[in-house]
Structure 1
Amino acid sequence: MFKIKKLLGQIRKAIEDYNMIQEGDRIAVGVSGGKDSITLLVLLKQLQSFYPVHFDIEAVTLTMGIGVFDLSPVVELCKKINVNYTIEETVIGKIVFEARNEKNPCSLCANLRRGALHNVAKRLNCNKVALAHHRDDVIETFLLSTLYAGKIQTFSPVTFLERKELYLIRPMIYIEEKHIKEYIKSNGLPVVPSPCHVDGKTKRQYVKDLLADLHRDNRTVKNNIFGAIKRLGIDNW
């Protein structure tokens, strides 16, 4: 299987570097249906079979209440790999795009989705939530925060939510997005298109395109930024 040993090695290294998983953890994996979350789900399931501590996995998808969102391929995948799958119906999309008619909807949408996902995780008796942010997401978030908020920050590998008594973990922080795309394609894994109205039209997409331009001129630019984040110790890095 394409790069499976390398990807499993990178996910295991991140987990061990930041002590993400302990014996008896119940982990709710946020599954949007996109390539990143599908890869995270499959890798965690494979890791579960040989990792030295026992942990359980629950797959969770939030619907947005807008557009066409056919989750049948994810249902079939979860059956195939023997993971319990919960689909939580929400109206987040209608709140963001209709009731509030947000001009910059991403922040509100993310906040509502986080809250809903955390509630489902608690209901499933999970103590951790795994999110599918990868290495490129770390870099893009750092640039977004710097350029648009004037803050030197990005998300942490592990975050404790005291009010919810939940840990957020990001096991794919060492994995490059291009390797996720190749892994999905080579293994024929299902990807469900996002129903979001602004998908691919956000500031994050602008920063992604900017990084791609920079990378064409300097092949080490992403490595340099990621290295700087680690050396600065931003948000518990």
Structure 2
Amino acid sequence: MKLQLLYSRVRKAIDDYNMIDENDTIAVGISGGKDSLALLYALSGLRRFYTHKFNLIAIMINLGYDGFETKKIKDLCNQLNVPLYIVETEISKILAINNNGISDENISCSLCAKLRKGALNSKAKELNCTKVAYAHHQDDVVETTLMSQIFEGHYYCFPPVTYLSNCDISVIRPLIYVTEAEIKGFKNKYDLPVEKNRCPKDGHSKREYVKELLNQINKDNPGAKKKMFSALCSSTVEGWQKDNGS
């Protein structure tokens, strides 16, 4: 995936759902994975020519697992002229205590996500940010929609923009028009400094199960994931109606 195409997809998502306002300060949550680094690349480039002026910072949460590395991420942020803030936490220890004697691994995955987002949003608020950008891409959207049907019995997905009243910050998801395959291509083309996920449960979750299921469905029925995404965009699910009427 070329950089200009990434800019185009991200800009369309931002425009369709009014994600950025004049003089916003946006915090990008950096995990060290390909998705968040691609998002950082896209937003840092859009600063130069987007309709609304906005400021950009990066926030990285240290979960406390051994082997946490930041040098390559720091170098990339310096290259892109984006300030990086690292938040030290003991989330890994909290998860170890919580999971003692608990067999359902999804409990700790859910708690981890809640704690990570809490730490990210709190730091963003501390830094006077108005928006926090999450790196959910199109595949994440489709996976979440299917997970809600399989495991919860209803048709739902997180919206492109979510207002968090408890901290007066909006979460935006500018990668919703970009597929995971396209991000992988972008990572390889631009040699993004991806850091290995240190979580011991990486690759062993309900989401991973649904991801594999969807990949098989898409293999048997080419274009199925795109159609599922289109169905969500044209649905009445809260938050998915485009602001510009396109």
Task: Give the structure 2 partner of residue 196 of structure 1.
Answer: 199
Q: What is the aligned-residue identity percentage?
A: 45
Q: Where does 1:151-190 land on structure 2 (aligned, <5 Å)?
A: 151-190=154-193
Task: Give the structure 1 partner of residue 220 of structure 2.
Answer: 217
Instruction: Give 1:109's match in structure 2, choosing from 103, 109, 112.
Output: 112
| CA shift digits 1:83-103 (9 cap, x unpaired) | 100000011111112344353
> Counterpart amino acid of 1:158?
V
Instruction: Give 2:137's match in structure 1, choosing from 131, 134, 139.
Output: 134
Segments of 5+ residues of structure 2 without an aligned counterpart are: 241-246
Task: Give the structure 2 partner of residue 88 of structure 1.
Answer: 87
Note the aligned Cα RMSD (angstroms).
Answer: 1.1
Task: Give the structure 2 partner of residue 73 of structure 1.
Answer: 72
Q: Name the SS for the 2:238 alignment partner.
A: helix
> Counterpart amino acid of 2:68?
F
Q: Name the SS for the 2:51 alignment partner.
A: coil
1:151, CA displacement in angstroms? 2.0
Q: TM-score, normalised to structure 2's length?
A: 0.93
Contact 1:29 1:41 survives alignment (8 Å): yes
Task: Give the structure 2 partner of residue 228 of structure 1.
Answer: 231
Aligned length: 236
Contact 1:31 1:61 survives alignment (8 Å): yes
Contact 1:67 1:196 survives alignment (8 Å): no
| CA shift digits 1:182-219 (9 cap, x unpaired) | 00101111001111110011111111111111111111
Segments of 5+ residues of structure 1 without an aligned counterpart are: none
The CA distance in 1 between the partners of 2:164 and 2:202, in whole Å, is: 28
Q: Name the SS for the 2:35 alignment partner.
A: helix
Task: Give the structure 1 partner of residue 29 of structure 2.
Answer: 30
| CA shift digits 1:17-57 (9 cap, x unpaired) | 00000110000100000000000001100011111211000
The CA distance in 2 between the partners of 1:128 and 1:231, in whole Å, is: 26
